[in-house]
Amino acid sequence: MRKEAKGCGAEQIHWRLDDLYQDREDPRLAADLLWAQEKAVEFERNYRGRLAELSSAELSSALEQLEAIRQRLARLGAYRYLSYVTHADDPRYGAELQQYQEEATQVENRLIFFDIAWNQLDPGQVEILLADPILAHWVHLLRRWRQYAPHLRQESEEQLLAEKRVTGRSLWERLFDETLTEMRFPLDGRNCTEQELLSKLSDPDRDLRRRAAESLSHGLQERIHTLTFCFNAILADKALDDRLRNYPHWLAERNLANEIEDEMVQALEQAVVQRYPLVSRYYRLKARLLGYEPLRDYDRYAPLPGSSRSYSWEECREIVLGAFQDFSPLLADIGSRFFAEQWIDAALAPGKRGGAFAHPVTPDVHPYLLVNYTGTVRDVMTVAHELGHGIHQYLAREQGFLNADTPLTTAETASVFSEMLTFERLLRGETDERQRLALLCGKIEDAFATVFRQMAMHRFEAAMHTTRRQEGELDKERLAALWLATQSEQFGGSVELSEGYRWWWSYIPHFIGSPGYVYAYAFGELLTLALFQRYRAQGEAFVPGYVEMLRLGGSRSPAAVVAVAGEDLHDPGLWERALDYLEEMVAQAEALAGGQYYAR
């Protein structure tokens, strides 16, 4: 019998934030802010107007001081943010986060002169400095900063832009988050959170899935005016920033941050869109297995009949850590600390943000993970995904605060690789052909959601930003039309979209908080599938290079980091090989389904 989410064992799994600060009243919060403020004043006094005079040793010392200030601020900010996302319904936490953002901006505005001055240095002097081995640790960071030179404004303008963000875009992000967090969706006599409702879309009961989808659609439609307003505010804000900073198109800033050429993103998009027929091929198979005609949007993640089971939190821990142990005991040891030392918040709770993430915090502490665990196999994969992020962030701590963070192009590698390890462990342990097919279909659906769905969302986002700049403010119907056009093309008629699905763009947080983010999911998934095939071919010999790739964090370019594990980001065949692997998975599912296991 299928266990209910309330009995999965994650109900009391909450993170322990006192590794950061004891509580909201901890005097160290004010003390750390004061320290950062005083150090920023001192830093400005010591280095303003002097950057061109510094030796390489003095520049290295300045960077160490700058890193210390920004790390202390980030630690404080991590605590305020992590507290907020589990108490988004309590205005005190939102107010404290807002206050932190305002105070941190004041500190950063004292430091912005350094970034501008570095970009104004003579190129010849820069090369002389960077040739000194004493700056070896900082070379990639300093070269990357120089790439922003065409997009930086004068110092006073940069300060105004920073101030504007705190009282402008960040407040719209907060309004969006709090709107979704406070919303309740009626279903079967109770009011569900967004996350509870979304979990019903993978329930075996088709009628329950339909009612959950309808409830979500109806709830979004009721708040669509506010959500549409948030979207338009973000679209207008980004268009203004891009114009002021001379970015040639809406995605240019994101590509620069991801350290990736526009052409590579275009090649990725083209490769994925050309394989859209694979999506149709798979969903027609699933429609046959389920006996549905047509397959509806709320059927996409339905478990195959007789295959549904739940995993307790303890089972999830054993499966995921076991998968890591099979690959690398070192990674398993790090992963076990997240469970043992309460670095994970897994329980569903009122006021808690939906979805999942891994927060790197700062190198002097450790990452934290947020998931909303209900016991499904997809939840197990989500835990594996976020734990992969967490282990990656933990290993990259060795590079220091300014070098640890990875661009999105490689940030998803460890997470997807962890999912693949967990999937293969589950598959190896399953002897029942029905269950094996169910596991395979679940993995295909997750991969499709990461590659094809995210690329469809990227195309919607591109259409949304481009259309806003051409036509002005977009009403709800215009946004819905762009959404349906870019969503439906991936299905090729294999999935029938319900009327209310037109509003489902309005709950996607990445569009609000991280414009241009979502293509990185497809990038990371396909890159990782290529790496995983390399692991299958090389076995244990692959592991040291992979671990070293994680340790490097953001200290080198994505191409250089990935090369350590043996892959070439500039190889035009990379995407095709990875997509071929997905096609092989679909063919395997078709072969397993040949026995008509699920015929009704």
Confidence of residue 156 (pLDDT cuts 50, 70, 90): confident
Q: Give residue 406's pLDDT.
A: 92
Residue with the larger pLDDT of the pair 599 and 286? 286
Query: For the segment 103-152, what is each residue's pLDDT rounded down to a tens digit?
Result: 999 999 999 999 999 999 999 999 999 999 999 999 999 999 999 999 98
Concatenated DSSP letters of 255-277: HHHTT--HHHHHHHHHHHHHTHH
Give mean pLDDT, residues 479-497.
Answer: 96
Confidence of residue 278 (pLDDT cuts 50, 70, 90): very high
Q: Give residue 561's pLDDT.
A: 95
Which residue, 369, 347, 379, is CA-closest to 10? 347
Give mean pLDDT, residues 255-276.
Answer: 94
577 CB-contact burial (10 Å; exposed 0-12 / middle 13-18 / buried 19+): middle
Query: For residue 405, what is the enclosing H or E element?
Result: none
What is the token pair recorded at 164?
């504007």
Which residue, 522, 525, 563, 523, is CA-closest to 545? 563
The answer on pLDDT for 307 being more than 70 is no
**What DSSP designation does 235 have?**
H
Report d(CA 40, CA 63) in Å as an integer. Answer: 12
> What is the percent of the chain with per-residue pLDDT over 90, rounded to a whole number?
83
Report d(CA 105, CA 540) in Å as an integer. Answer: 47
Confidence of residue 304 (pLDDT cuts 50, 70, 90): confident
The answer on pLDDT for 4 being more than 50 is no
Q: What HEC string does 102-140 produce?
A: HHHHHHHHHHHHHHHHHHHCCHHHHHHHHCCHHHHHHHH
Query: For residue 46, what is the enclosing H or E element?
Result: helix 27-47
What is the token pair recorded at 409?
């192009």
Contacts of 51 (CB under 8 A, 6+ apart): 59, 62, 114, 117, 118, 121
Domains by residue range for the chain, with CATH: 17-167 (1.20.140.70)
What is the token pair recorded at 504?
């489902």
The answer on pLDDT for 5 being more than 70 is no
The answer on pLDDT for 572 being more than 80 is no
Report d(CA 441, CA 97) in Å as an integer. Answer: 41
Give mean pLDDT, residues 156-185.
Answer: 86
Query: For the segment 427-444, what is each residue's pLDDT rounded down to a tens digit?
Result: 888 888 888 898 899 899
Give mean pLDDT, residues 475-490.
Answer: 97
Whether the CB-CB separation of 266 and 249 falls below 8 Å is answered with: no
Report d(CA 92, CA 86) in Å as an integer. Answer: 12
The answer on pLDDT for 596 being more than 70 is no
The answer on pLDDT for 323 being more than 60 is yes
Q: Give residue 169's pLDDT.
A: 84
**CA within 13 Å, CB half, 260:** 27
Q: Give residue 299's pLDDT.
A: 96
What is the token pair recorded at 339?
């469970």
Q: What is the pTM of this model?
A: 0.86
Query: For the segment 59-86, what is each residue's pLDDT rounded down to a tens digit?
Result: 999 999 999 999 999 999 999 999 999 9
What is the token pair recorded at 565?
């594990």
The owner of tokens 């709107």 is: 179
Give mean pLDDT, residues 308-337.
Answer: 95
Residue with the larger pLDDT of the pair 368 and 170? 368
Concatenated DSSP letters of 13-42: ----GGGT-SSTT-HHHHHHHHHHHHHHHH
What is the token pair recorded at 340?
């043992």
The answer on pLDDT for 92 being more than 50 is yes
Report d(CA 378, CA 199) in Å as an integer. Answer: 10
Give mean pLDDT, residues 343-361.
Answer: 93
> What is the percent of the chain with per-residue pLDDT over 70, rounded to a whole number?
98
The answer on pLDDT for 6 being more than 80 is no
Concatenated DSSP letters of 522-538: HHHHHHHHHHHHHHHHH
Report d(CA 438, CA 289) in Å as an integer. Answer: 10
Give mean pLDDT, residues 18-29.
Answer: 96
Residue at 332: amino acid letter? A
208 CB-contact burial (10 Å; exposed 0-12 / middle 13-18 / buried 19+): middle
The mean predicted confidence, pLDDT, of the chain is 93
Which residue stretches of 429-542 are H helix?
433-448, 454-471, 476-491, 509-513, 519-538
Report d(CA 89, CA 93) in Å as an integer. Answer: 8
